[in-house]
Amino acid sequence: MPDVLTFGEAMAALRADRPLRLGGTLSLSVAGAEANVAIGLARLGHSVRWAGAVGEDEFGGLVLRTLRAEGVDVSHVAVDPAAPTGLVVFEPRVADLTRVSYYRSGSAGSRLAPAAMAGALAEGARIVHLTGITAALGPGPRAAVEIAARAPGGAVCLDVNYRAKLWSREEAAAALRPLVPLLDIVVASDDELALVAPPGAEHEAECVEALLAQGVGEVVVKRGAAGAEVFTAYGAVARPAVRVPVRDTVGAGDAFVAGYLSGLLDGLPVAGRLDRAVTTGAFAVAAAGDWEGLPFREELTLLDAAPGTALR
């Protein structure tokens, strides 16, 4: 049984060195919220299973090869011969502002069937990690999320991870609110809390109170450059962000989640989990790419070094 089970859509990722219409160079990698979390946890020494779907194509081969190389278990991945692996394109626009374009309509990930998850769910995990992105991909993935949330066994974590290009706020709320009584951990930015809180709860305090009243054990609020805060029945704990030069903010939220779940698996108190989460988030924004800059366990203290330090 792995420490963490997660699933969703991992895509081939093309990164441009300038706006697409101006041409230039594209580099090829892999991206996807759940895959990012899986890689982050594996680098921190945890056993992780990713059980999504890819196409029977070279991009799908790249996804599987990359995840295997990062120590992620892909033994339950569905390979769809009739649908392509999704594609995402990142292009720099202004300063650290990145424009993201998705090509995932009809992709293997959007056709993920609940039956494909049966084997992975039967083997269980200490933590099942879900995101709103997977639920937004289509009826099959949404049903898989609902089944995974109800699976007996370990703790269930949901990162709301709202994507306006995938669905409306009304659609997201209708799909995610019924899951709340099944969740142990809810992760959201302050503007996403209302998507899982009951109707009528709008302000952060109201949303948090309502979620805790529904049985959620921990409400983790990501505040970007302002850090993060965790609310439980015993009170709130906050941590500021770790200050680093920002190169790329894409994937920072996934890195944060990986750090937080790593701390939970290690038995750290809430403050310790937050410390690790803001640290892994800082590694993500200080490097280019969704997951490439994520730390290994022995590197967690690197950001304590003075700027410009040479490690000899």
Q: Tell me what pLDDT residue 234 has.
A: 96
The one catalytic residue in 3, 73, 254, 275 is 254
Q: Give residue 306's pLDDT.
A: 80
Look at residue 248 and tell me whether its pLDDT is greater than 90: no
pLDDT of residue 312: 76
What percent of the chain lies above the pLDDT cut of 90? Answer: 86
Instruction: Decide if pLDDT at 29 tops 80.
Output: yes
The full set of domains in the chain, from first to last, is 4-8+32-84+111-293 (3.40.1190.20)
At which residue do the structure tokens 């015993």 appear?
Answer: 234
Interatomic CA distance for residues 3 and 243, integer angstroms = 30
- Please state, in angstroms and rounded to a whole number, the distance separating the CA atoms of residues 69 and 283: 20
Token digits for 292? 């490439």
| 290 belongs to the catalytic site | no
Taking the model in full, what pTM does it have?
A: 0.95
Question: Would you tell me the crossing angle of helices 270-285 and 252-265 to the nearest 10 degrees?
Answer: 150
Contacts of 39 (CB under 8 A, 6+ apart): 67, 70, 72, 258, 291, 294
Distances (CA, A) of 125 to 6, 33, 153, 270, 310: 9, 19, 7, 21, 40
Residue 158 pLDDT class (50, 70, 90 cuts): very high
pLDDT band at 152 (very low <50, low <70, confident <90, very high): confident
pLDDT at 216: 98
Task: Check pLDDT > 90 for residue 135.
Answer: yes
Mean pLDDT of 271-288: 96
Average pLDDT over residues 279-301: 95
Task: Give the mean pLDDT of the chain.
Answer: 95
State pLDDT tens for residues 62-94.
999 999 999 999 999 999 999 999 999 999 877
SS (H, E, C) the chain: CCCEEECCCCEEEEEECCCHHHCCCEEEEEECHHHHHHHHHHHCCCCEEECCEEECCHHHHHHHHHHHHCCCECCCCEEECCCCCCEEEEEEEECCEEEEEEECCCCCHHHCCHHHHHHHHHHCCCEEEEEHHHHHCCHHHHHHHHHHHHCCCCEEEEECCCCCCCCCHHHHHHHHHHHHHHCCEEEEECCCHHHCCCCCCCCHHHHHHHHHHCCCCEEEEECHHHCEEEEECCEEEEECCCCCCCCCCCCHHHHHHHHHHHHHHCCCCHHHHHHHHHHHHHHHHCCCCCCCCCCCHHHCCHHHCCCCCCCC
Amino acid identity, position 256: F
Query: Averaged over 159-163, what is the pLDDT?
Result: 97
CB 97 within 8 A of CB 71: no
pLDDT, tens only, 164-206:
999 999 999 999 999 999 999 999 999 999 999 999 898 999 9
Answer whether 228's CB lies under 8 Å from 268's CB. Answer: no
